[in-house]
Amino acid sequence: MKNSNFKHFYRLIILFIIAGIFIFTACNKDDDFNLSTDFRLAFSNDSVVFDTVFTSIGSVSKQLRVYNNSDKKINISSIQLLKGQTSQYRINVDGSPEPTQENIEIAANDSMYIFVRVNIDPDDEDAPFIVNDQIEFIINGNSQKVELVAWGQNANYILADQTDTEGNRYKIIAAKGEDVSWDSPKPYVIYGNAIVDTNAVLRISEGCRIYFHSKSQLQIKQDACLKVSGILENPVLFKGDRLDEGYCDLPEQWGGIFLAESNQSTEINFARIENGTFGILAESNNDSKQNQLIITNSIIKNMSGNGLSSRAFSITAGNLLIADCGGSLLNIEKGGTHTFTHCTFANFWNWSYRNKTAVCLSNATTIDEQSFYNNLDIAFENCIIEGSSSEELTFEEHSEAGFSVSFSYCSLRTLEDETNTAFEQCILNPEILFEEAETISYKLHADSPLIDAANPSFSRAFPLDILGSNRLPNPDIGVFEFFSNEQK
């Protein structure tokens, strides 16, 4: 009997020990995993870029490596293509091709591969130039994403292949002293910054379409120049590479065009520069350079910053429309000699708050808290300066340099009055100005007082308006000549 009780007691002890081991193991199972909400996966790249130029239906695979850099294993709750079954991408995770994978484990200080595949027909003209998706990783309640980028049509692809000291990716498209022409019927797609190096020339022929990926820029370096030769029927286009619906008027899709100091003139004729962070930034630290920009028959619009900025440059412009920017349409700093003839500056920006006037003019600039001065001599002839604010003109005059500003036969939105000596035969704050349309073009309304109000002597330099219509003998103020239905 005693032996039986002892055996029973012994069995209970064994069961308690086994149960304790089981409970201890169960309670500490999670201790084998990194459950910290601060944990982040590491990747071989923050984006998977398919830089193959497709010449037939494309089928290209690349790999992404996912790292667990912790001393415990991890459980990735889900890995998925955000566009799911509609995506042009396919992923393979541990042999599974499904667009969504769940509960994927990676051992401590280990990694795994994800294979990514894209299928594109580059001859499909309706396809976007850039085909995007993302792989999303959910781990410990946090989301991490890796971009997938491929090109969907045949084009001339300018792919960054170098990195500067600030980490910016770029490609030199015209080396030092080179004279390079772009005249292909296929569009150019720029991924990273495109550089025209010192003493080089980039010539862009009529009809060229140049699309920029996010934050990409065209940079014209010191003593280099840009020659854009569009025509009325076939202008040159600069804009972001997102061509799908909803992006046609969205600003800040790319960087802009940067011009450094130069003894060569940059000339732009019949260009459309749209939807960037800035339109043209012409900036010089050397006042003795020629620093000349000649821009005619062109449109700059929908920039999140300034449309056209100059620092110690000289600009000659005619038939230029700058519209709807989050900064100033025209920002002149550190003087220069400028002439604007038959130009329209119209700022009805509605994407966010705007705290700058349409036109800002200064004979100074500040760099690293140090001020610099240069003479300003600027003339506006037969121009419109208009916007949604009651004051669309800013004058910043400093006595350290000359300041000469004139407006002749212009329409101005300003709180200044006719006694301002800079105004000659100007129309101030007209009530009726532009025609109303779903797509704002800034053409004149039939009742606008600007019709036939320009000075013909200024118009002789630009006898045709931006659409090729004859201005003379009775020109209108601004970039567009008005024609009634009977005249059209």
Separation of alpha carbons 111 and 313, rounded Å: 54
Specify the pLDDT at position 21: 52
pLDDT over 80 at 38, yes or no = yes
Query: Omega into 97 within 30° of 0, i.e. cis?
Result: no
> What is the model's pLDDT at position 106?
95
| pLDDT beyond 80 at 115 | yes
What is the full DSSP assignment across 257-282? EEE---SS-EEEESEEEESSS-SEEE
Region 40-66: mean pLDDT is 75
DSSP letter string over 82-142?
TTGGG-SEEEEETTB--SEEEEEEE-TTEEEEEEEEEEE-TT-TTS-SEEEEEEEEEETTE
Tally Cβ neighbours within 10 Å of residue 469: 14
Say yes or no to pLDDT of 52 above 70: no
pLDDT tens-digit readout, 55-100: 444 556 789 999 999 999 999 999 999 999 889 899 999 888 888 9
> pLDDT tens digits, residue range 215-232?
999 999 999 999 999 999
The pLDDT, as a whole number, for residue 94 is 80
The whole-number pLDDT of residue 27 equals 47
Q: Which H, E and C letters describe 153-212, residue by residue?
A: CCCEEEECCEECCCCCEEEEEECCCCEEEECCCCCEEEECEEEECCCCEEEEECCCEEEE
Contacts of 218 (CB under 8 A, 6+ apart): 190, 193, 194, 196, 210, 212, 226, 238, 255, 256, 257, 258
pLDDT tens, residue by residue, 342-396: 999 999 999 999 999 999 999 999 988 899 999 999 999 999 999 999 999 999 9
Q: Give the model's pLDDT for residue 150.
A: 81
Q: Compare 285 and 114 and report the one with higher pLDDT.
A: 114
Q: Report yes or no: 190 and 154 within 8 Å, Cβ to Cβ.
A: no
Encoded tokens for 174: 């015209």
When pLDDT is cut at 50, 70 and 90, the band that residue 12 belongs to is low
Buried b / exposed e over 190-210, threshold 16 CB at 10 Å, is bbbbbbbbebbbbbbbbbbbb
> For residue 440, what pLDDT is reported?
78
Q: How confident is the model at residue 19 (pLDDT cuts 50, 70, 90)?
A: low
pLDDT at 334 over 90: yes
